Protein backbone atom coordinates (compact mmCIF):
# COMPACT_ATOMS: atom_id res chain seq x y z
CA UNK A 1 0.00 0.00 0.00
CA UNK A 2 1.02 3.58 -0.50
CA UNK A 3 3.19 5.08 2.27
CA UNK A 4 0.98 8.20 2.17
CA UNK A 5 -2.07 6.33 3.44
CA UNK A 6 -2.73 6.25 7.14
CA UNK A 7 -2.89 3.11 9.26
CA UNK A 8 -6.44 1.94 9.98
CA UNK A 9 -8.15 2.71 13.26
CA UNK A 10 -10.60 0.67 15.29
CA UNK A 11 -13.38 1.18 17.80
CA UNK A 12 -14.47 -1.47 20.29
CA UNK A 13 -18.04 -1.54 21.53
CA UNK A 14 -18.60 -4.09 24.29
CA UNK A 15 -22.24 -5.12 24.69
CA UNK A 16 -22.82 -6.67 28.12
CA UNK A 17 -25.16 -5.90 31.00
CA UNK A 18 -22.89 -7.82 33.38
CA UNK A 19 -19.82 -5.80 32.45
CA UNK A 20 -21.76 -2.52 32.72
CA UNK A 21 -23.03 -3.61 36.16
CA UNK A 22 -19.53 -4.62 37.28
CA UNK A 23 -20.44 -8.25 37.96
CA UNK A 24 -18.14 -9.57 35.22
CA UNK A 25 -14.67 -8.40 34.18
CA UNK A 26 -14.07 -7.30 30.59
CA UNK A 27 -11.32 -9.65 29.43
CA UNK A 28 -12.32 -9.59 25.75
CA UNK A 29 -11.27 -5.96 25.30
CA UNK A 30 -7.69 -6.76 26.34
CA UNK A 31 -7.57 -9.64 23.86
CA UNK A 32 -8.95 -7.47 21.05
CA UNK A 33 -6.63 -4.55 21.86
CA UNK A 34 -3.58 -6.83 21.82
CA UNK A 35 -4.52 -8.37 18.46
CA UNK A 36 -5.30 -4.97 16.94
CA UNK A 37 -1.97 -3.51 18.11
CA UNK A 38 -0.15 -6.53 16.69
CA UNK A 39 -1.78 -5.82 13.32
CA UNK A 40 -0.74 -2.16 13.38
CA UNK A 41 -4.28 -0.93 14.00
CA UNK A 42 -4.79 1.90 16.50
CA UNK A 43 -7.63 1.60 18.99
CA UNK A 44 -9.21 5.08 19.09
CA UNK A 45 -12.48 4.37 20.88
CA UNK A 46 -13.74 1.93 23.51
CA UNK A 47 -17.06 1.84 25.29
CA UNK A 48 -19.25 -0.62 27.15
CA UNK A 49 -23.02 -0.49 26.63
CA UNK A 50 -26.06 -2.35 27.90
CA UNK A 51 -27.77 -5.10 25.92
CA UNK A 52 -30.46 -2.70 24.76
CA UNK A 53 -31.20 -1.89 21.14
CA UNK A 54 -31.19 1.88 21.69
CA UNK A 55 -27.79 1.76 23.43
CA UNK A 56 -26.30 -0.38 20.67
CA UNK A 57 -27.72 1.86 17.92
CA UNK A 58 -26.33 4.96 19.66
CA UNK A 59 -22.88 3.38 20.11
CA UNK A 60 -22.66 2.26 16.47
CA UNK A 61 -24.00 5.54 15.13
CA UNK A 62 -21.39 7.47 17.10
CA UNK A 63 -18.67 5.63 15.17
CA UNK A 64 -20.21 5.46 11.70
CA UNK A 65 -20.03 8.07 8.95
CA UNK A 66 -23.33 9.72 8.15
CA UNK A 67 -24.68 10.16 4.65
CA UNK A 68 -24.02 13.91 4.81
CA UNK A 69 -20.38 13.37 5.84
CA UNK A 70 -19.77 11.04 2.91
CA UNK A 71 -21.37 13.51 0.47
CA UNK A 72 -19.18 16.40 1.67
CA UNK A 73 -15.95 14.52 1.08
CA UNK A 74 -12.71 15.98 2.35
CA UNK A 75 -11.67 14.97 5.85
CA UNK A 76 -14.64 12.67 6.30
CA UNK A 77 -15.15 11.40 9.82
CA UNK A 78 -11.61 12.10 10.96
CA UNK A 79 -12.60 11.04 14.47
CA UNK A 80 -14.43 7.90 13.31
CA UNK A 81 -12.86 4.45 13.23
CA UNK A 82 -12.24 2.55 10.01
CA UNK A 83 -13.13 -0.71 11.76
CA UNK A 84 -15.96 -0.94 14.30
CA UNK A 85 -15.88 -4.13 16.36
CA UNK A 86 -18.67 -5.20 18.67
CA UNK A 87 -17.94 -7.72 21.40
CA UNK A 88 -20.96 -9.58 22.80
CA UNK A 89 -24.67 -9.45 22.12
CA UNK A 90 -24.53 -11.97 19.26
CA UNK A 91 -26.09 -15.02 20.90
CA UNK A 92 -29.65 -16.19 21.39
CA UNK A 93 -30.49 -14.61 24.75
CA UNK A 94 -33.00 -11.78 25.08
CA UNK A 95 -31.20 -8.53 24.38
CA UNK A 96 -28.75 -10.13 21.96
CA UNK A 97 -29.71 -7.84 19.09
CA UNK A 98 -26.29 -6.74 17.83
CA UNK A 99 -26.69 -8.62 14.50
CA UNK A 100 -30.09 -7.04 13.88
CA UNK A 101 -28.77 -3.55 14.59
CA UNK A 102 -25.66 -4.18 12.48
CA UNK A 103 -27.75 -5.37 9.54
CA UNK A 104 -29.33 -1.91 9.38
CA UNK A 105 -25.88 -0.30 9.11
CA UNK A 106 -24.11 -2.35 6.44
CA UNK A 107 -24.34 -2.25 2.65
CA UNK A 108 -22.90 -5.72 2.12
CA UNK A 109 -22.22 -8.71 4.31
CA UNK A 110 -18.99 -10.62 3.94
CA UNK A 111 -20.52 -14.08 4.23
CA UNK A 112 -17.26 -15.85 3.43
CA UNK A 113 -15.51 -14.23 6.39
CA UNK A 114 -18.46 -15.02 8.66
CA UNK A 115 -18.14 -18.67 7.60
CA UNK A 116 -14.39 -18.67 8.17
CA UNK A 117 -14.90 -17.30 11.69
CA UNK A 118 -17.51 -20.00 12.39
CA UNK A 119 -15.24 -22.78 11.12
CA UNK A 120 -12.31 -21.52 13.21
CA UNK A 121 -14.53 -21.24 16.28
CA UNK A 122 -15.91 -24.75 15.86
CA UNK A 123 -12.36 -26.10 16.15
CA UNK A 124 -12.40 -24.91 19.76
CA UNK A 125 -16.03 -25.15 20.85
CA UNK A 126 -19.37 -26.36 19.51
CA UNK A 127 -20.85 -23.21 21.08
CA UNK A 128 -19.32 -21.21 18.22
CA UNK A 129 -22.38 -22.18 16.19
CA UNK A 130 -24.55 -20.12 18.56
CA UNK A 131 -22.91 -16.86 17.52
CA UNK A 132 -24.94 -14.87 15.00
CA UNK A 133 -22.29 -12.23 14.41
CA UNK A 134 -22.09 -10.40 11.10
CA UNK A 135 -19.19 -8.91 9.19
CA UNK A 136 -19.87 -6.25 6.58
CA UNK A 137 -18.95 -2.97 4.96
CA UNK A 138 -20.99 0.19 5.30
CA UNK A 139 -20.67 1.19 1.64
CA UNK A 140 -18.67 0.69 -1.51
CA UNK A 141 -16.27 3.51 -2.26
CA UNK A 142 -14.55 5.92 0.06
CA UNK A 143 -15.05 6.19 2.95
CA UNK A 144 -16.08 2.67 3.76
CA UNK A 145 -16.06 1.21 7.23
CA UNK A 146 -15.94 -2.41 8.30
CA UNK A 147 -18.24 -3.64 11.06
CA UNK A 148 -17.29 -6.88 12.81
CA UNK A 149 -19.55 -8.60 15.36
CA UNK A 150 -17.83 -11.05 17.70
CA UNK A 151 -19.13 -13.06 20.59
CA UNK A 152 -17.86 -11.68 23.88
CA UNK A 153 -15.51 -14.43 25.06
CA UNK A 154 -11.74 -14.11 24.72
CA UNK A 155 -11.66 -17.21 22.52
CA UNK A 156 -14.35 -15.88 20.20
CA UNK A 157 -12.61 -12.52 19.90
CA UNK A 158 -9.33 -14.26 19.11
CA UNK A 159 -10.98 -16.51 16.49
CA UNK A 160 -12.78 -13.59 14.86
CA UNK A 161 -9.84 -11.23 14.69
CA UNK A 162 -7.32 -13.89 13.66
CA UNK A 163 -9.51 -14.55 10.62
CA UNK A 164 -10.35 -10.95 9.72
CA UNK A 165 -7.25 -8.89 10.57
CA UNK A 166 -4.94 -10.46 7.95
CA UNK A 167 -7.50 -9.44 5.31
CA UNK A 168 -8.11 -5.82 6.38
CA UNK A 169 -5.91 -4.38 3.63
CA UNK A 170 -7.67 -6.48 1.00
CA UNK A 171 -11.11 -5.51 2.27
CA UNK A 172 -10.37 -1.79 2.06
CA UNK A 173 -8.54 -2.14 -1.25
CA UNK A 174 -11.56 -3.92 -2.75
CA UNK A 175 -14.11 -1.44 -1.39
CA UNK A 176 -12.52 1.92 -2.02
CA UNK A 177 -9.79 3.76 -3.85
CA UNK A 178 -8.34 5.36 -0.69
CA UNK A 179 -7.39 2.66 1.77
CA UNK A 180 -5.98 2.49 5.23
CA UNK A 181 -2.48 1.02 5.31
CA UNK A 182 -1.88 -2.32 6.98
CA UNK A 183 1.67 -3.54 7.11
CA UNK A 184 1.77 -6.18 9.81
CA UNK A 185 -1.67 -7.78 9.46
CA UNK A 186 -0.64 -9.78 6.40
CA UNK A 187 2.28 -11.23 8.35
CA UNK A 188 0.03 -13.21 10.72
Q: What confidence tens digit (pLDDT) does each residue in 129-148 have? A: 999 999 999 988 877 899 99
Q: What is the mean pLDDT of the chain?
A: 88
Q: Are 26 and 48 in contact (CB under 8 A)?
A: yes
Quick check: helix, strand or coil at residue 169? helix
Q: Are 107 and 137 in contact (CB under 8 A)?
A: yes
**Three state DSSP letters for 39-97:** CCCEEEEEEEECCCHHHHHHHHHHHCCCHHHHHHCCCCCCCCCCEEEEECCCCCCCCCC
pLDDT band at 184 (very low <50, low <70, confident <90, very high): very low
Boundaries of every domain in the chain: 9-180
pLDDT band at 187 (very low <50, low <70, confident <90, very high): very low
Q: Are 117 and 135 in contact (CB under 8 A)?
A: yes
Looking at the whole model, is its pTM more than 0.95? Answer: no
Q: What confidence tens digit (pLDDT) does each residue in 54-80 have? A: 999 999 999 998 654 544 454 455 578
The yes-or-no verdict on residue 175 having pLDDT over 90 is: no
Superfamily of domain 9-180: MoaB/Mog-like domain (3.40.980.10)
Q: What is the mean pLDDT of residues 87-92?
A: 96
pLDDT of residue 176: 72
Q: Are 146 and 82 in contact (CB under 8 A)?
A: yes
Whole-number Å distance between alpha carbons of 177 and 96:
35
List % helix, strand, coil for the chain (3-state, nearest 5): 45, 15, 40
pLDDT of residue 179: 43
Amino acid sequence: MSPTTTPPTAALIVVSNRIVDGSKPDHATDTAATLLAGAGISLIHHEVVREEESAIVHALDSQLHTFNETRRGGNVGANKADIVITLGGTGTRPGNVVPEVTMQKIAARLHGLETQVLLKGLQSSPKAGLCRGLIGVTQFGHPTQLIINSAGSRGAVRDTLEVVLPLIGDIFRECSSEKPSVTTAAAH
